[in-house]
A and B are shown apart, each in its own frame.
Chain A
Amino acid sequence: MTAAMQPALDFRNFGLAHRRPGGEEVLLSAVTLSLPARRFYLFLGTSGGGKSSLLRILAGLVESREPAPRLSGDLLAWGESMTTHRPESMRDSVAAILQDEGLLDELSPRANVEIALRAAGRSRRLAPGLLAQAGLVDPPERTAELSGGMRKRLAVARALASSPRLLLCDEPTAGLDAEAARTIAQLLRLAHDQDPDRTTIVITHDIAAFEGRIDGVLVLDRDARSLRLEPPGFRPTYAAGAKVDESPAGEPEAVHWLRRGLLRLAAAGETVLESWRRLPPFELGQVARTVVRFTVEPAAFVAIAGAVIGGLGTFFALRNNPIHGGFESALLTGTGKVSTAVLVPLLSGFFFTARIVAGAAARIGTMKRTNQIAALQMMGVRPADYLLTPLVWGMVIAMPVVTLGGVVAAAGAAAMAADLVSGITAVGWAEAYFATVDANDVLVVLGKTTLSGYLVALSCYHLGTGPKRSGAEVGEAVNAAIVVGMALVLAVHASLTFLVYG
């Protein structure tokens, strides 16, 4: 069979079932169907029938921390089986426009396209042409300011950046009025016709918008758990209350949870491995901006907290020990080794974590929830490059810097308190201070903050990129990131303190 005659997708006795605790939810069974290439298909079927699941399998967007759907039979894409693993050739030849578009709101529309071009190994200068082709000649500077229709156009432009052979679209006209929907449908058809090798599959319920622009209709029959190909004029009649087969013959519940647990552990291990493999910055400017932001945002907060701790410690130590040895004990308890190497760094770590991790985890969790991370994967951009690497560099550099700032603020406040309570001059105070604190203490502080910053970055990324089905799960991830981050700070500081001074 020549490449020209080869079907785009070839289902051979193909079955698809979701693994559930204690059973399986069968979506497709014994499907045998060849889908000719270079056509523009609508993909119809009742909601929850498995259309999006199939699209995610084709796009390689299966959630890595949940047990994968059970596939049976065979599914060939351009002659290559993808039931056991996704062929390498699919990685660069498939693009998907997801229901939430997955646009990176923090970048400009042009930068959204540029990042896809860069990932596809194409010139960034193609971005204006792609935007113009999608009808975005002069888009606003911020992606968040785009209207619903413009967001769909931008998603199309970005999807075309990799010049895909298979273009998958999940409800591209959802939420648009009829006129805007027809415009998007026309845009998709034009994009399809632009490349003679392109096959396009559009999941939609808005058949009218695509009237006259399609080559065939792929129908998912939920009752029969099968797929069939219908001519362009086909109009579906959906049966109400279609029954989903919950097969009790699936794997035991314990096995399901074991799978899930191992996948979660794998994700944790992958996060650690990724942090090392992707340590060289993907984009230096983004890393630098993150470092500056992580340093500046909590600096005042941590400095004030450090000053309060150091100042109060010295104030009360001197006030309560006014006679012999009072100054020495004040240095030890208020401003000396204990404060500099243990107390202030620990509390600074807490404040830093509370201030930075909440924002970072919320950002990553929202990106996961709104398919931005899926879009990055789709474009061939590793989420670790875009999210984890800046986070690690930001935390590892900013946490020690901010903590040292807290220590300096604590020392300054302590000197002022010493002057206030006992009339000790700044020079006299500094002499006594440096008699108790040495370079080794500073190194210990740097070691503790660097290690805890690294671990906090990993936990923040790991919890943020977990499965997110709702906004509540994003909130839970933020909460968990703060708690775990603080626990890691405490554990690192306690263990290193014991190891060095114990």
Chain B
Amino acid sequence: MHRLRYLIGTLTLIAAVLGAVWIVRTLRHLDDRPGLPLQIEFRDARGLRGGADVRYRGVTVGTVRTVSIAGDGDKATASVLLEPTGAAQACVNSAFWIVTPRFAGLTGGASGLDTLVRDAYITFQTPVERGSPLVAGSLLAGREKPPVSPEPEALDEIQHGDLLMSLLVPENHGLRPGSAVIFRGTQTGDVRSVELAADGTFVEVKLRIARRYRQTVTDKCQFWVARPYVTGALFSGFTVTDVSALLSPYVSYYGDPGQGVFVQDGYRAAAQAVRPNVEAAAVPLEALRQKQAAPAPVADDLVVVRVVYAAIERDTWSADDPVHHEGTGLLFVDRSGRSVVVTARSLVDGSYTEQDAFGGDPEIEDEQIKVMLADGTVLRAGRVWVHNGGKDLAALVVEDVPPDLRGTASARLRFEGPVEGTGTLAVHCAGADGAVLPPQALSAGEPVPLPGHLGGVVTAAEQALGIYGCQKQHGTEPTVVSLELLPTDLRPK
């Protein structure tokens, strides 16, 4: 009576089984992502695990899917999947190796120290002369060690004013591009390249000394390749010097203060074969002299700077609008030692001043903030704080500050109390060339116009206590925004 139903039941069972198989197969291949699958063989997988990164120039461009023992037991095979960006960089002559902590003795230095606290990963390098692109499923022989020298791109860019010189050493004790150049224990530069001379009689090491330290190099300086060096006898006591070179060899040099003349770019010096017996001169007595107590505040201690702001406001429906503001800011050093400029938010924040066509938040991009000092020096600054409550107050931190940059003396700053009722107010501004302009008195009868005075430093009784800004966002009416709104961590000690 149910014959047809038994048939339908059987067909349903078959359909269910086929459906289950299809679902399992689909789920199994769910993580199949577009990319280039590769097999890389190593003699030692060094603890590499599935899920580890594959990196190129420090960027993760793939994943290690599995790590297994090869069929003959001689090798470990890592199956990796390179993402399209990584696949575009890999070619048949790329060198793949596993990054783990390595210490290669006196000559090799230490590398892969980041994997002390995280899993091992694979990285690769592709030479300038690229080979053929890799095809899916390629089996590559991985390197057991990193290549001898990293690529020069790993080094910092040479800045204008840096000293470029060559050091001729009888033997390279593991120096490589990137090795440090040390003066009195402070890194003053780095090694740019290491090349054996054409006739094989010496090794030429090209050095870069940073601009701010180039005065430490004179023609009387002695150079050597630092490596651990033991002096003395076992029972009479011995000294081990340059122990830090155990991890990574470096170039060291020393010259007595006041000896010799400064050298020019291209200067060539011969290094000592062994560490010379030099002892750093004692700290000069002048340096021990206590610094003079800060002089009593004078008018010059108020440091006002010119602030220039530029940005682009992106607009979906019309052409992008350039945003450009100029005004004044108050410079001082905060408790962390940073050079802080306090100014009006409407001067340095496009999202505060601009309005979207539909009343929404504007899309501000490519913001640049520059600070011009009284001597015309232009420095870059970043906006680190704005007042959350919408008051027209912002703080910038100046970058790459010259060591001699001086800020407003803390005695001339007042962060407590209201502005009102503090006596005669004056606004101090910086001109277009950074030079300080004569102060203008603030009186209720003749208000100082906001344009040209935006961000000006408002003082009373020789103390800066506010910033000349707008009463509200998108407003045009001027007001004095009290410095008491500034958070304590941005104030001087």
Contacts and interface: CB of A to CB of B under 8 A. Distances in A.
A64 B5 CA distance: 8
Contacts of B6: 259, 262-263, 266
6 cross-chain pairs, A with B, having the tightest CB-CB distances, nearest first: A262-B9, A269-B12, A266-B9, A68-B1, A266-B8, A265-B9
A126 B114 CA distance: 90
Interface of A: 62, 64, 67-69, 71, 83-85, 259, 261-270, 425, 427-428, 431, 495, 498-499, 502
A323 B8 CA distance: 62
Nearest to A69: B1
10 contacts: A263-B5, A264-B9, A265-B12, A266-B6, A266-B7, A267-B5, A269-B15, A428-B360, A431-B356, A502-B30
Contact of B361 (A85, A259, A428): A428
A264 B16 CA distance: 13
B12 A268 contact: yes
A502 B31 CA distance: 7
B8 A84 contact: no
B358 interface: yes
A266 B13 CA distance: 8
B31 to A, nearest CB: 8
Contacts of A68: 1-2
Interface residues of B, number: 21
B16 A265 contact: yes
**Interface-centre pick from B5, B11, B359 (highest chain A CB count, 10 A):** B5
A267 B2 CA distance: 11
B360 A269 contact: no
Nearest to A272: B12
Contact of B11 (A62, A267, A269): A269
A146 B10 CA distance: 45
A261 B16 CA distance: 13
Contacts of B356: 431
A431 B30 contact: no
B1 A269 contact: no
Nearest to A82: B1
A427 B45 CA distance: 55
A427 B12 CA distance: 53
Contact of A427 (B13, B15, B358): B358
Given A266-B2, A502-B31, 4 more contacts: A85-B1, A259-B6, A263-B2, A428-B361
Contacts of B15: 269
A268 B356 CA distance: 58
A54 to B, nearest CB: 13
Contacts of A264: 9
Nearest to A65: B5
A280 B31 CA distance: 40
Interface string B297-325: 00000000000000000000000000000
A266 B14 CA distance: 11
Contacts of B358: 427
Given A64-B2, A262-B13, A269 B8 contact: yes
B427 to A, nearest CB: 31
Nearest to B1: A68
A222 B13 CA distance: 40
Interface string B318-354: 0000000000000000000000000000000000000
